[in-house]
Structure 1
Amino acid sequence: MSIHDMPTMFDDADLARVKLVASDMDCTLLADDGSMPPHMAERIRALAERGIVFCAASGRPLYTLRDMFPDLTDYMALLSDNGAAISCAGEIVFTDLIDVATYHELIDFTLADGRGCPVVCGIEAGYLRRCDAVYDDFFRRFFTQIVYVDSLDDLDVDVNKYTVYFPDKTAEEVYAETYADAWGGRFSVTNAGREWIDMMNKHVDKGTGIRRLCEYLGIPLADALALGDTYNDIQMLEAVGHGYVVANAEEHMRAHARFVAPTNNERGVAQVIDRLLELTD
């Protein structure tokens, strides 16, 4: 069965019971041009009025997600850094920090490997080497607060994720060749598309993040809905009762969800939310 032949929101018999809608950002909620669906703020407020929480679930840091949803954080949840930090109604309710010595091991490994740019994801900013500022325009899409330093050697800040950027889009290959075996025993290691390898403390991923958020909100996982498109969404899609892939996801992702939503460019997330709003009006 092709991803396009999967059941849709119109086949989701229990959709009206959903109390949490969690959406990945890139290639899921956001179109290919990086834009948000029109009237998304109104949808988030309409969900909140019905007692339904919208959650942006992303590898992006918390401060970037806040900037992407201005004036809305009191109405929604933010699952950032692939679950390493969670905010609900404007309050940080969970963080999972990587100790300083450990993230320096990761930096040294990346520099020795030589194929990617190390990005140290602090709670307040992303820390990068000044020599990697040539990619600043790209980095600013994900990190609205960046501190460039001549060297990362002396860095000592609160960090909840370590990521590596691959300008040549070889993250999947490098992950399979090197990072999975080297670090998979100690860390939660995942691809966030073809340009990033993300590393969090063991057992930190979007799946454990959505479980923590549901527990905090008192919402059964069976009444949670998640939408995603790629590897770092798999655990989240499998954790919830209503797992949706967007139709632009790669075929292998169909094994991890029950339903398919229209593509990101067709504003599939917004269409699913609109269907939910219709059913709960």
Structure 2
Amino acid sequence: MLDFEEDTRLSDIRVVACDMDCTLLADDKSMPEGMPGRIEALNDAGVTFAAASGRPLYTLTGMFAGLEDKMAFISDNGAAVVCRGEVVFKSLIDPQVVQELTEFTLGRNLGIPTVCGLNTCYVRSCDRQYDEFFRTFYYDITYVDSLDHLDAEINKYTLFMPEANAVPVCAEVFSPAFGERLSVTCGGAVWIDMMNYGVDKGAGLARLCEHLGVAAEDAAAFGDTDNDVQMLEWAHHSYLMANAEKRMEPHARFRAPSNNDRGVAVVVDRILASHR
């Protein structure tokens, strides 16, 4: 794997897509100092910064408040794409499929279901004990007595795995059961995410770039884990964070400094310098 300093043609980059947890955000969930200014500078240079995350749209816009008209959002692992306030794409899961996923999960006691709508996240009242943790990712939570037959627009079904066994449970249970009908992936050790088939961050980035008239050769992407794979493989300038597991190395071209070393900011500064 090449070092980030070996990347060339940075002046051609027109889109920068960036995962959040363990990528842009340090382990303490903080952003690099001065990141809003970098996003504005990218915008002024004709480069679109996109927050690409499993987090819902309303959480991401809250994290980048005041920058909505200067950047893009690839939320819910690509199930919603918004660019400078314009909805480019959204993908809603059939209510019967949501019901099937809920019954499958609860019937096997496999984790804590969180059903992600466009404007809120639905969680059972009996799981309120995880509220403080959930609100790091879901800025708006609606607690309900039951998840049966929700009357809402749902674009992602997510399982929280308190025992941090998301990767094996995803591979051994959910991918075999639903992988032919849905996009099934892990967002780190505690999250299993399911969206409509073909929905992922890579497809979201491709849709954003098509909207902007940008080729894959002129796109950059930063990530660290499974739900970043397609995005890293799609973008020509793909950066894997130094804190990522070794198994992720085949999916990216360049190694960036770790999230705690503010690797995204380091590379973005190089991109900005190339546009001056």
Decide which of 11, 15, 18 is 1:20's aligned counterpart: 15
Alpha-carbon distance in 2 for matches of 1:178, 1:215: 35
Which runs of at least 4 in structure 1 moved beyond 4 Å after TM superposition?
Answer: none
Structure 2 unpaired stretches of 5+: none
Please list, as runs of the form range in 1=range in 2, the aligned pairs for 1:64-75 lying within 5 A after superposition: 64-75=59-70
- AA partner of residue 144 (structure 2): V
- Amino acid of the structure 2 residue aligned with 1:27: C
Q: 2:32 corresponds to which residue? A: 37
Count matched residues: 276
CA contact (8 A) 1:9 1:275 kept: no
State which of 124, 132, 149 in structure 2 corresponds to 1:154: 149
The corresponding residue for 1:3 is none
Contact 2:88 2:207 in 1 (8 A): no
- Once the two structures are TM-superposed, the CA of residue 279 in structure 1 deviates from its matched residue by 1.2
How far apart, CA to CA, are the structure 1 residues paired with 2:9 and 2:232? 16
Identity of aligned residues (%): 55
> Are residue 102 (structure 1) and residue 105 (structure 2) matched?
no
Letter of the 1:16 partner, please give it: S
Provide the secondary structure at the position in 2 that maps to 1:109.
helix
Matched residue, 2:82: 87
Cα deviation digits, residues 9-48 of structure 1 (max 9, x gap): 3211112210000000000000000001100000000000
Whole-angstrom CA distance in 1 between matches of 2:30 and 2:110: 30
> What is the alpha-carbon distance in structure 2 between the residues aligned to residue 10 and residue 115 of structure 1?
43
2:46 pairs with one of 33, 47, 51: 51
Measured after TM superposition, the shift of residue 254 of structure 1 is 0.9
The answer (yes or no) to whether the contact 2:216–2:234 under 8 Å persists in 1 is: yes
Instruction: Give, as a single letter, the amino acid of the residue that structure 1 aligns with 2:181.
Output: R
Report the 3-state secondary structure (helix = DSSP H, G, I; strand = E; otherwise coil) of the residue aligned with 1:26: coil
Which residue is 1:212 aligned to?
Answer: 207
Could you tell me the TM-score, scaled by structure 2's length?
0.99
Q: Structure 1 regions of 5+ residues with no counterpart?
A: 1-5
Q: Give the SS at the match of 1:79.
A: strand
Specify which of 106, 110, 121 is matched with residue 111 of structure 1. 106
Q: What RMSD in Å do the two structures reach over aligned CA positions?
A: 0.7
CA contact (8 A) 1:85 1:95 kept: yes
